[in-house]
Chain A
Amino acid sequence: MSRPILILGAASDMARAVARSFAAEGHPIQLAARNVSRLAEDASDLRTRFGVEVTVHEFDALATDSHKAFVEALPTLPAVAVCAVGTMGTQSESEADPLAAAQVMRANFEGPASILAHLANAMEARGAGTLVGISSVAGDRGRASNYVYGSAKAGFTAFLSGLRNRLANKGVHVVTVLPGFVNTAMLDGIDTPAPLTAEPEEVGAAIVKAVKRNTNVIYTRPIWRLVMAVIRNIPEPVFKKTSI
């Protein structure tokens, strides 16, 4: 296997694990994030561990007007592009300051949707490729504790679903990843129930598998599919009084 895998938002714990999972299968890796200098050590890690070729690329998810040029400047159009861009923000800040909320929405929806749109068009023209969007179970229902982040993820999830629908006959597959709790920097200092908390490596392995099998939507861990089905189906009059 020699076609490259592009990882967008490559500096996060989740992205590092995804990159390793693909590199372990022998794929060359393209790492993209803001301040590429931060990626140097991760790039050497992938080269040293797996003996694969790694390139690093400056990428700013919020600078949507640069996205077209970013895709054109890639040395090779990747076989698979994984978008791990996103930030939780702070709900209280997002509530107090709608401008801060807008930043969270842009980082979790607008930016990721924009870059995947450009990649989708390029892959569609080629007639092959896989796009992986890492969204969140938070997008399955808005909750008081993080609905700003959740609403952006809901938008991104819908975008991925529509994109998959559009490209279904064009040789391009779209995978939606809905992680629940993942033991990453985002959760540092937050205690989450162990059976519901995945390690980043699990998410990485699940994504590689989903890409191989053309799975449409994956929950990691799978128990989240059930948890979210329950949460989605709580009637609104009841739901609004809960604090889940």
Chain B
Amino acid sequence: MKMLSGWGRFPKVECRVVRARTQEDVRQAVLEAPLIARGNGRAYGDAALNPGLTLDMTGMDRMRSFENGVLVAEAGVLLGDIIQAFLPRGWFPMVTPGTKLVSLGGAIAADVHGKNHHIDGSFRTCVDWIDLMGPDGTVTRTKQGDALFDWTLGGMGLTGVILRAQIRLRRVETSWIVQESVALTSLTDTIAAFEGAMDAPYSVAWINCSAGKTHGHSILLKGRHALPQDLPMDRTEFDLGRPGKTPVPFGLPFLFKGAALRTINSIYWRLQRRKAGRAVVDWDSYFYPLDGLANWNKLYGRHGFVQFQCALPKDTAEAGLAEIMEAIAASGQGSVLSVLKRLGSQSGPFSFPMEGYTLAMDFPTNKRSLALMERLDTITMAHKGRFYLAKDARMPKAVAQADPRAADFAAMRKQAGMAERFTSVQSRRLGL
């Protein structure tokens, strides 16, 4: 037995963990007991936890073949490994979340989105097929167009164990990103700026949700892969670097509320405003600024933290976001990193993203923030929004079930015999 949690370190659950190294190991586990697959544990909450049996897939991390940007790899391969292997040869993941320390299986199961969702859609865009082990231990190769494929992308490991997949990478001419940053002073301006940046390959904004004069101030970052001619003379086209990681020695939970939080947020905005403009930045600090800080999840102290991430449809987004941000400001709780992102049209039927906006933020785990998040649930639902399962650790069942797809998913799982085989703390909490 092992104490396990997601990235937010809440909740912590005692689980029996088995590590799979081969397909045969997976089959034995699947036939043995109800289980959930676990990748690199970067989902924030309880999606990859199951007390009876949690199947650690990080030992299945072999790459099988690579040709002309088409990679076949086992589910436990990390996105970071893929970058390490192929960026020097001119290839980069088509879609990447804000950390490279996710497994291929985890990226598929959550159907992750990146800063390019408004143009390229979610991770499924680059997935050709998936080898999935079903409840009876048989392997199905499911492809774009199959119902099983649709349910698996975003299905949070609840349709079976992803063994391997074929994905397509993107050709890039350098490992650098041309970044343009703009400092803005209100939500309305930020949304207008996003709408004006629909042709930027990547876009994301950091927005201040805490109270005070800089409430609603934001930094919008646009990016595109640099071409050789964009680079200053002293830079080589492909520079992977291997920056060391700065460990976080102890928790500083007092930073995440009240005056300290307000101060950090407004200082951050001023610093970024000063730096606003065009810059050529390396791939790692552009896409994965947090990965340089090992274990930053420990900053929130021993109770851990909870992320809230919702998506709001385009036409209700501004009103909904304003209400959410006001509720946060009024609570005095909040997040150093509130991330706002324009989402493109929905690409997967069971995936999280929808045409509109998504806001993600972290709260220290405590009664007040849990109460606040229930307020945010209500606001989100009133604006026809939805919630991201990969970030969720605390949603009430009724909230999850307000998304009509939840009941369909549960019914499908029951009918296919998946429900009794693949189960997580999250799936039981939410009735999936």
A and B: bona fide binding partners: yes
- B residues with a Cβ closer than 8 A to A are 2, 18-19, 21, 59, 61-66, 71, 73, 81, 85
Docked pose: A49 CA to B87 CA in angstroms: 11
A48 to B66, CA, bound (A): 6
In the complex, the answer to whether B21 meets A48 with C-beta atoms within 8 Å is no
Which of A38-46, A104-112, A132-140 contacts the other chain?
A38-46
Interface-centre pick from A42, A48, A185, A188 (highest chain B CB count, 10 A):
A48
Cα-based distance from A80 to B62 in the complex (angstroms):
24
A167 vs B369: C-alpha distance when bound (angstroms): 66
**28 contacting pairs across A/B (C-beta < 8 A):** A13-B21, A13-B59, A41-B62, A41-B64, A42-B62, A44-B62, A44-B63, A44-B64, A44-B65, A45-B61, A45-B62, A45-B63, A45-B64, A48-B63, A48-B64, A48-B65, A48-B66, A48-B71, A48-B73, A49-B63, A49-B81, A49-B85, A50-B85, A185-B19, A185-B21, A188-B18, A188-B19, A191-B2
Chain A interface mostly helix, strand, loop or mixed?
helix
Count residues of chain A with CB under 8 A from any CB of chain B: 11
| Known A44-B63, A48-B63, A188-B18; 11 more pairs at CB < 8 Å | A13-B21, A41-B62, A41-B64, A44-B62, A44-B65, A48-B66, A48-B71, A49-B81, A49-B85, A185-B19, A185-B21
Query: How far, in angstroms, from A191 to B85 measured CA to CA in the complex?
Result: 33
Shortest beta-carbon distance, B305 to chain A, in Å?
Answer: 21
A-side contacts of B21, CB under 8 Å: 13, 185
Inside 8 A of A49's CB, which chain B residues have their CB?
Answer: 63, 81, 85
The smallest beta-carbon distance between A186 and chain B, in angstroms, is: 12
The residues of A that contact B85 with a CB separation of less than 8 Å are 48-50
A49 to B82, CA, bound (A): 8
Bound: A187/B240 CA distance, A = 33
CB nearest neighbor in A for B72: A48
Dominant SS at the B interface? strand
Q: Please indicate the chain A residues that have their CB under 8 angstroms from the CB of B63 in the complex.
A: 44-45, 48-49
What 3 A-B pairs come out closest when comparing CB atoms?
A45-B62, A48-B63, A49-B85
Q: Which residues of A contact B71 (CB under 8 A)?
A: 48
Question: Which of chain B's residues have a CB closer than 8 A to the CB of A42?
Answer: 62
For residue B19, which residues in chain A have a CB less than 8 angstroms away from its CB? 185, 188
A191 to B2, CA, bound (A): 8
A50 to B81, CA, bound (A): 11
- A residues 47-79 with Cβ under 8 Å of B? 48-50
Q: Report the bound CA distance from A13 to B61 in whole Å.
A: 11
Tell me the complex Cα distance, A41–B64, Å. 7
Q: Roughly how many angstroms separate A44 CA and B62 CA in the complex, as a whole number? A: 8
Question: With A and B bound together, what is the CA distance between A44 and B66 in angstroms?
Answer: 10
Residues of B within 8 Å of A48, CB to CB, are 63-66, 71, 73, 85
Least distance between A18 CB and chain B CB atoms (Å): 15
Chain B residues closer than 8 Å to A41, beta-carbon distance: 62, 64
Nearest CB to that of B71 among chain A residues? Answer: A48
Distance (Å) between the CB of B57 and the closest chain A CB? 14
Residue ID in chain B nearest A191 by CB atoms:
B2
> Complex formed: what's the CA distance from A13 to B76 in Å?
14
Hey, which chain A residues are within 8 Å of B61, CB to CB? 45
Find chain A residues with CB under 8 A from B64 CB.
41, 44-45, 48
In the complex, what's the smallest C-beta–C-beta distance from A120 to chain B, in angstroms?
Answer: 32
Measured CB to CB, the nearest residue on chain A to B63 is A48
Complex Cα distance, B21 from A185, in Å, reads: 9
What are the residues of chain B within 8 A of A50 when measuring CB–CB?
Answer: 85
CB neighbours of B81 from chain A (8 A): 49
> Which residue from chain B places its CB closest to the CB of A183 in the assembled complex?
B19
Given the complex of chains A and B, what is the CA–CA distance between A45 and B71 in angstroms? 11
Query: Given the complex of chains A and B, what is the CA–CA distance between A45 and B59 in angstroms?
Result: 13
User: In the complex, what residue of chain A is closest to B25 when comparing beta carbons?
Assistant: A185
Whole-angstrom CA separation of A45 from B62 in the bound complex: 5
The answer for the CA separation of A49 and B85 in the assembled complex, in Å, is: 5
Would you give the 0/1 interface string for A186-205, flagging 1 where the beta carbon is closer than 8 Å to chain B?
00100100000000000000
User: Nearest Cβ distance between residue A174 and chain B, in whole angstroms?
Assistant: 29
Query: CA A41 – CA B18 in complex, angstroms?
Result: 21
What is the distance, in angstroms, from A51's C-beta to the closest C-beta of chain B?
8
Give, as a whole number of angstroms, the nearest-CB distance from B82 to chain A. Answer: 9
Q: How far is the CB of B86 from chain A (nearest CB, A)?
A: 9
User: What is the CB-to-nearest-CB distance from A198 to chain B, in angstroms, rounded to a whole number?
Assistant: 15
Report how far A67 CA is from B59 CA in the complex, Å: 30
Chain A nearest CB: distance from B240 CB in Å?
11
Residues of B within 8 A of A44 (CB): 62-65
Give complex CA distance A37, B61 in Å: 18
A185: B residues at CB distance < 8 A:
19, 21
Chain A residues whose CB sits within 8 angstroms of the CB of B18 once the complex forms? 188
- Docked complex: A1-41 residues within 8 A CB-CB of B: 13, 41
A49 CA to B73 CA, complexed, in Å = 10
Question: How far, in whole Å, are A188 and B73 apart by their CA atoms in the complex?
Answer: 24
User: B98 CB to closest chain A CB, in angstroms?
Assistant: 23
Residues 139-180 of A at the B interface (beta carbon under 8 Å): none
Closest to B66 in A: A48
* A42, A45, A185, A191 pick with most chain B CB within 10 angstroms: A45
Interfacial chain B residues near A188, Cβ < 8 Å: 18-19
| Residue in chain B with minimal CB distance to A24 | B84
The answer for the CA separation of A220 and B230 in the assembled complex, in Å, is: 44
Closest residue of chain B to A187, judged by CB?
A: B19
CA distance A239 to B356 in the complex (A): 68
A48 to B85, CA, bound (A): 8
Min C-beta distance of B97 to chain A, whole Å: 21
